[in-house]
Amino acid sequence: MIEVRQARYFIAVAEELHFGRAAERLMMSQPPLSQAILQLERLLGTSLLTRSSRSVLLTDAGKLFLDECRLLVQASERAEEVAARSKSGMAGTLRLGSVTSAFDGLLPDILDTFRGAWPDVELEVSEIDTHHGRDRLLRRELDVAIIRQPGSDRGLRSVPLRRDRFVLALPETHAQAAGVGAVDLARFRDDSWVWLPRAISPDYHDEMVAACRQAGFSPHARHLANSIQSQLAMVGCGLGVTLVPRSSLGARRGLVARELSQRVDLVELSLVSRTGTSETIADNFIECARGVADGD
């Protein structure tokens, strides 16, 4: 198999057609260069050069071999460049997981900023729940996760991004939809609720339960959704009311959102990654996300 070093030697001789000048170009002495070309010809089993006391010329095989040597060297240089860019975080792949609410709030701005700064980094994005995000990080299936981090996990580091809060989403036909100001959550104890089962998102479900219990009731979970987006869509269809993170609202048809008189903060939205490893692309994303969050 031809080595890149041998290809470089041959390119220099073929372009200079003079062993002395080629040796100077390669910053080596002439005898080792001459020996290297002879060894290359023996390896290939053919003559690449026609030598005389006055000139050095390429054979037909040498001309064809020169083209391939140039391709080999170019491929080697590209590989080195890709490795260097990956090491510096300029290229590679970032596997990102995020809870649903971040897609409507903070994440679009983070992604726009990150892609502008590191356009050669490929993104692989997954919608996840908090507990799945922690597990997938520890299994090295994700590089970074934007989740609601209730505490620290061994092997993970957490960077706070934003603290969100619950608002009440209700159909625009609801009697309380046209009101102004904050509403008491307890007033909706008898409404039909659009609920997110605990099996879908344990952390989010528990926060909804705690908010209702704090208001003194247990909601009638008549309708079940599989995501925050489904909750909002079902409310927009007039099926019932629900609690959602304020950041997840966006522009929605058929519903309105009311602030709660008793402020109910959700667990802080955090950017979580593994500890004890040097992952430049992930570090760059974290710094970008912090800058966007701090600038809001």
Q: What integer best gives the mean pLDDT of the chain?
A: 86
Q: Does domain 92-163+268-295 have CATH number 3.40.190.10?
A: yes
Instruction: Say what the pLDDT of residue 265 is.
Output: 66
Q: Which CATH number is associated with domain 4-87? A: 1.10.10.10
Task: Tell me how far CA of residue 12 lies from CA of 34, 40, 150, in angstroms.
Answer: 12, 14, 62
Instruction: Say what the pLDDT of residue 88 is.
Output: 59
Q: What is the pLDDT of residues 45-94, one digit of tens each?
A: 999 999 887 889 999 999 999 999 999 999 888 887 766 666 655 668 88
CATH among 3.40.50.2300, 3.40.30.10, 3.20.20.140, 3.40.190.10 for 166-258: 3.40.190.10
C-beta of residue 165 within 8 angstroms of C-beta of residue 258: no
Instruction: Say what the pLDDT of residue 156 is.
Output: 85
Say which amino acid occupies 155: G
Model pTM? 0.56
Q: Which residues contact 255 (CB under 8 A, 6 or more apart)?
A: 169, 170, 171, 172, 232, 235, 236
C-beta of residue 228 within 8 angstroms of C-beta of residue 212: no
Q: How far from the centroid of its chain's Cα atoms is residue 160's Cα?
A: 17
Instruction: Say what the pLDDT of residue 91 is.
Output: 64
Neighbours of 74 (CB within 10 A): 11
Say which amino acid occupies 103: F
